[in-house]
Amino acid sequence: MKVYLSSTPEVESSEVKEVFDLLTQVVGPIEFKQLPSLSTNEIEAFVEMDDSFENVRLLSFDGLFNLCTAYRRYYYQSQGISKEDFVVVLTAIPNENKWFSAFRGKNIFIDINDWETYTGKNQKYGIAYQVMENIFQSFINLNIELGEVESEPNVHWHPIGCINDMCQNKRDIILKLRTADICESCQERFINSGNSIELGLHIQGEIENIRKGIVRKFLEKGEITPKKVEVRKTGKIYKVFIEGFNNHVDFEAIARTLYVFYLKNLEGVNQFDLEKNYNELRDLYFKMRRGGDEKTLKNLTDIREGNSFYSTVWDINKALNSLLGEGLVSFYLLKKVDDVYKISIDEKYISIDKEL
């Protein structure tokens, strides 16, 4: 199932792209596509209007859903849009009911105005949330038609931090963006409507990812500086310590070998060039693990299927994350930058035992 994102002509395509880029960060069964906006002429050819589209300052729900249908028809053949696919139109033209967004069947429109006022963040977060909210509501057949929405049991008139909060007071919208929650009753209705857990997980993953961009962060209050990373001998074993932490970073010998190697080669080394540095790695490995097995090291440096380089990098970063937590950890991670793997920390923060 696909979700096509487009906009009315007054919206910049870069604004749609930002929303698209945010939503495609999360992987799952919903596939997002971006479509170009239609021009004023193209819209007028598909939608009957009393006035030129350029002069339209307010749209009814019917008018907006007619627009969605126009986009669906216009792109129907070239994109192969099916009945199961969603068409989402972002617009800066306000709607008569002053709603953030609405859906009818698989058509969705979203008002892009004022999101920065409501969230204090880039508008893409609020808009992307509206995309997911309407998709969710469509999947549970939420009845939002005026005159009927009042008796819809899964619309929460008093905000509880659920995706289906009504938010009559528009400032209440920030609550559900911060919780990224779907309440028990709304989850049950989703499942009882015949939707898969996998689909539910994707929707939840999307709103959780949006939440991370929305919540207030200490890092916006100031910067942090790296602490010294030290490789020193404790007893018979060389371990990696970060200044201020009592525990060492919990690496296996092979991970310690690779990490210390990259600490000594801060300019970075491509994984396929590790074999060229084999002697240096071997020397380190046998200091890290006396009586170690050279096969283990060869399995790290010989890059082919089943080799252990990528899983070792993963182990290293996992161990760093579990010790240091978000923020500080960013100085120490072993990451691919351009063509090489490297640790992006300044040399002055590194201290390595002379024996290594």
* Residues near Zn ion, by CB under 5 A: 162, 164, 183, 186
Distance CA 133, CA 139 (A): 10
Distance CA 116, CA 280 (A): 53
Distance CA 244, CA 207 (A): 35
Closest CB 205 distance from Zn ion, rounded Å: 18
Number of Cβ within a 10 Å radius of residue 54: 10
Which one, 162 or 260, has the nearer CB to Zn ion? 162
Half-sphere exposure of residue 173, counting CA atoms within 13 Å on the CB side? 20
Closest CB 189 distance from Zn ion, rounded Å: 8
320 membership: H or E segment, kind and range: helix 309-324
- 3-state DSSP assignment of residue 233: strand
Closest CB 176 distance from Zn ion, rounded Å: 9
Distance CA 194, CA 170 (A): 31
Closest CB 174 distance from Zn ion, rounded Å: 17
Distance CA 130, CA 239 (A): 48
Closest CB 194 distance from Zn ion, rounded Å: 18
Return all residues near 266 (Cβ < 8 A) that are at least 6 apart.
342, 343, 345, 347, 350
Which one, 7 or 164, has the nearer CB to Zn ion? 164
Which one, 3 or 162, has the nearer CB to Zn ion? 162
Which one, 164 or 204, has the nearer CB to Zn ion? 164
Half-sphere exposure of residue 330, counting CA atoms within 13 Å on the CB side? 7
Closest CB 119 distance from Zn ion, rounded Å: 20
Which one, 157 or 314, has the nearer CB to Zn ion? 157
Half-sphere exposure of residue 344, counting CA atoms within 13 Å on the CB side? 11
* CA distances for 256 relative to 260, 284, 323, angstroms: 6, 9, 15
Closest CB 27 distance from Zn ion, rounded Å: 25
Main-chain dihedrals φ then ψ at residue 260, nearest 5 degrees: -65, -40
Structure tokens at 125: 């977060």
Closest CB 202 distance from Zn ion, rounded Å: 18
Which one, 182 or 255, has the nearer CB to Zn ion? 182
Distance CA 142, CA 144 (A): 6
> Scanning the structure block, which residue is given the tokens 């999101």?
115
Which one, 205 or 226, has the nearer CB to Zn ion? 205
Closest CB 91 distance from Zn ion, rounded Å: 27
Which one, 188 or 353, has the nearer CB to Zn ion? 188
Distance CA 190, CA 173 (A): 21
Closest CB 206 distance from Zn ion, rounded Å: 17
Return all residues near 4 (Cβ < 8 A) that are at least 6 apart.
33, 34, 35, 71, 75, 79, 81, 85, 86, 87, 88
Distance CA 103, CA 92 (A): 16
